[in-house]
């Protein structure tokens, strides 16, 4: 397996843009089962009409220490599309060698925080009145969805076409969204759940820049692909015929091409 893993690793890390994510997996330990992590780094050039085959690189770890992304991506630099997990932050340091990684944050993660505050059906399931939703959160979801509509229309186009469409159609929407979110936050208590959802996009230095990186890079997407899907396929007992629970002795799970 190691030669195959090495070949896929070389192919994935040859990309200038990667999706990164991690998911929990149960880990058999002495006397108990605890949560471990499966890290996924995905190369997928299809959104910008790239010809390289997609592939996923997996690494296992017993916990979620931030040292793992640094080790997994040692020597690599490019654009990492991921959530705002602080464990990636060392990759973005200006003094990183051979070069800092560029952060491109996922709009689906930002949207989810607003959606949870505007989810009528979810409130009903939780026994809350359906009217207890935030109009501001609902409007934020609608504005982000308008961006997603643009992205669906340019998916699979060459990078230069995607960039031109974003400059013409998406950038004005993003700039309007920025000003609107700032105005809404200025009227709220910092403890307001909607204010916290807004702050997710702005509170850390460089956060908004990372959210808007896709506007100036036709290779980027504004959403990360769901790396949990290849993880789930790899760990599926029904599809693969083995227990989905690794043991404490396991160190690295194989890569796969989805």
pLDDT tens digits, residue range 133-157? 789 999 999 999 999 999 999 999 9
Q: Which long-range contacts (CB under 8 A, 24 or more apart) does 156-162 make?
A: 156/46, 156/47, 156/48, 156/49, 157/48, 157/49, 158/48, 158/49, 158/218, 159/48, 159/49, 159/217, 159/218, 159/219, 160/218, 161/218, 162/47, 162/48, 162/218
* Pairing of β 55-61 and β 17-29: unpaired
pLDDT at res. 248: 41
The answer to whether the CB of 26 falls within 8 A of the CB of 238 is: no
Summarize pLDDT for 152-179 with one digit per residue, the tens: 999 999 999 999 999 999 999 999 999 9
pLDDT at res. 29: 81
Domain spans, the chain = 1-104+224-258, 107-222
Helices then strands, each counted (H, E), the chain = 11, 5
* Longest CA–CA separation in the chain, Å: 59
pLDDT at res. 127: 66
Instruction: Give which of 225, 143, 239 is closest to 184, Cα–Cα.
Output: 143
C-alpha count within 13 angstroms, C-beta hemisphere, residue 170: 27
Element (H, E) at 13: helix 2-13
Distance (Å, rounded) from C-alpha 105 to C-alpha 211?
A: 5
Distance (Å, rounded) from C-alpha 62 to C-alpha 32?
A: 14
**Where do runs of H (alpha helix) occur along 25-158?**
67-72, 107-115, 120-125, 135-154
pTM reported for the whole predicted model: 0.84
Q: Give the chain's residues under pLDDT 70.
A: 120-132, 225-258
Element (H, E) at 27: strand 17-29
The answer to whether the CB of 108 falls within 8 A of the CB of 224 is: yes
Cα–Cα distances in angstroms (integers) from residue 178 to residues 17, 123, 140, 146, 175, in the given order: 25, 27, 10, 14, 5
The answer to whether the CB of 208 falls within 8 A of the CB of 149 is: no
């Amino acid at each position: 397996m190691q030669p195959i893993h090495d070949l896929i690793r070389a192919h994935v890390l040859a990309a200038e843009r990667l999706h990164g994510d991690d998911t929990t997996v149960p880990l058999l330990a002495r006397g108990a089962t605890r949560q471990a992590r499966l890290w996924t780094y995905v190369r997928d050039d299809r959104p910008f009409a790239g010809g390289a085959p997609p592939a996923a690189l997996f690494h296992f770890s017993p916990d979620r220490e931030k040292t793992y992304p640094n080790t997994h991506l040692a020597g690599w630099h490019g654009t990492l599309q991921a959530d705002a997990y602080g464990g990636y932050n060392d990759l973005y340091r200006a003094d990183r060698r051979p070069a800092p990684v560029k952060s491109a944050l996922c709009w689906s993660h930002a949207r989810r925080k607003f959606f949870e505050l505007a989810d009528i059906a979810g409130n009903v399931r939780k026994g809350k009145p359906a009217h207890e939703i935030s109009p501001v959160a609902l409007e934020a979801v609608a504005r982000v969805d308008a961006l997603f509509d643009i992205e669906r229309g340019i998916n699979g186009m060459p990078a230069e076409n995607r960039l031109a469409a974003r400059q013409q159609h998406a950038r004005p929407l993003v700039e309007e969204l920025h000003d609107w979110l700032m105005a809404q936050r200025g009227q709220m208590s910092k403890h307001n759940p909607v204010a916290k959802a807004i702050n997710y996009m702005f509170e850390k230095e460089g956060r908004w820049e990372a959210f808007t990186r896709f506007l100036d890079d036709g290779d980027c997407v504004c959403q990360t692909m769901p790396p949990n899907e290849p993880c789930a396929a790899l760990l599926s007992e029904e599809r693969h015929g083995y227990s989905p629970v690794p043991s404490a002795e396991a160190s690295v799970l194989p890569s796969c091409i989805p």
